Amino acid sequence: MVTVSTKGTSILACSTLVPISDVTQIGEARRQVHRIADDVGFSEADQGKAAIVVSELATNVARYATGGEILLTPVTMGDRRWIDVLAVDRGPGIPDIGRCLQDGFSTGGTSGSGLGAARRMSSEFDIFSAQPSGTVVFCRIASQPSQVSERRPFSWAAVSRPAPLETACGDAWRVAERGDLLTVMLVDGLGHGHEAARAAAEAVSVFDREPFVPLTDFVGSSHARMHGTRGGALAAAHFDAAQRKIKYVGVGNIAGHLHGDASERGRGLFSHNGIVGVQIRKIQEFTYEYPTSGLMVMHSDGLQSRWSLDLYPGLAQRHPGVIAGVLYRDFTRGRDDVTVAVVRLSQT
């Protein structure tokens, strides 16, 4: 279910995952994106566009990769609506990306034009491929492309998936933008399944009501709302593009990490021990200078902690959706809910 917010907060469903191991699953990916596009309120023409993009990406994964998946995330932010599409595979990688992006070059023999068609029909598009580890393609398909692609101070994306065999996701995330300000939060309900999702939903309700309150107030209010649930880990960051500052507060094992350019050292963001809704020892806000060409990565403990963007030359310069997709593909633990959110402050 996708709910429209009147405060500019993005309301997101957990990503829908469609495994792609052979061509018989392409139709399922197409049906799922049709369903999601209809729920979001896409016109029939835009639903058809989304279906073409997903068909092209799924065909490439099915025919030329060693296993992969399509992840579909609907987003509503005020009157802006879009679907983020991630195609993730595990090899062998694309030797000539430039050729594959040419219009008229279709590796799958479908009605579109391969990756060139996907790029042309997307408001935002990026790709990262390495041999032999594989390829991640990110497409943002919007009902009103000009509203999504207009110049904004931030770019961001996330992927969120429930634990295997679960239908409810115990992780949740939100983003809100207001001019030069952005707030992002990530909550991980203790354990997984419906009770974890119920705990996370309480923090979401606090954020949705007013996403730009002081972060310590947000965590304190979430602590009160989550009382009586399993509780969980919670972190939030507030970005000020004009001041190039980040305020961050965390309780529990949500990980936050700043990644700068080659001349700057990355750093982890500090969180206090505790379980929001159960026991908090201290709520403390920290302020950080935003690194040049920097990224902030937040993730739940469904992602391994020993990842590094330095393992992937050039990845740090890619779209946040591609970065989230690569980390999700290569470092998911595989036994819990997992969420990866990436935010970049655009260079001026």
Q: What CATH number is given to the structural domain containing 39?
A: 3.30.565.10
Please indicate, yes or no, whether residues 231 and 252 belong to a single structural domain of this protein: yes
pLDDT at 107: 47
Non-local CB neighbours of 45 within 8 Å, separated by 6+ positions:
none
Out of 82, 115, 149, pick the residue that ends a domain: 149
- Between 106 and 277, the more confident residue is 277
pLDDT at 255: 97
Out of 127, 149, 171, pick the residue that ends a domain: 149
Least confident of 215-219, 253-257, 261-265, 301-305: 261-265
- pLDDT at residue 2 is higher than 70: no
Q: Has residue 280 been placed in a domain?
A: yes
Please indicate, yes or no, whether residues 178 and 323 belong to a single structural domain of this protein: yes
- pLDDT at residue 246 is higher than 50: yes
Rounded to whole angstroms, the Cα distance separating 60 from 116 reads: 12
Please indicate, yes or no, whether residues 72 and 118 belong to a single structural domain of this protein: yes
Q: Tell me what the mean pLDDT of segment 269-279 comes to.
A: 97
- pLDDT at residue 10 is higher than 50: no
Average pLDDT over all residues of the chain:
89
pLDDT band for position 140 (cuts 50, 70, 90): very high
pLDDT band for position 347 (cuts 50, 70, 90): low
Please indicate, yes or no, whether residues 99 and 160 belong to a single structural domain of this protein: no
- pLDDT at residue 130 is higher than 70: yes
- Between 231 and 114, the more confident residue is 231
Give the residue numbers spanning the domain of 325. Answer: 154-345
pLDDT band for position 263 (cuts 50, 70, 90): low
- pLDDT at residue 117 is higher than 80: yes
Residue type, position 125, single letter: F
Edge-to-edge, what's the strand order for the sheet holding 267-268? 154-161, 338-345, 295-299, 255-259, 267-268
Please indicate, yes or no, whether residues 211 and 317 belong to a single structural domain of this protein: yes
pLDDT at 290: 86
- pLDDT at residue 147 is higher than 80: no
Three-state SS string across 261-309, please? CCCCCCEECCCECEEECCEECCCCCEEEECCCCCEEEEECCCECCCCCH
- Between 147 and 60, the more confident residue is 60
**pLDDT > 70: what percent of the chain?**
89
Please indicate, yes or no, whether residues 140 and 279 belong to a single structural domain of this protein: no
Least confident of 143-157, 216-230, 277-291: 143-157
What are 15-73's pLDDT values in tens digits?
999 999 999 999 999 999 999 999 999 999 999 999 999 999 999 999 989 889 999 99
Q: Has residue 101 been placed in a domain?
A: yes
Non-local CB neighbours of 124 within 8 Å, separated by 6+ positions:
138, 139, 140, 148, 149, 155, 319, 321
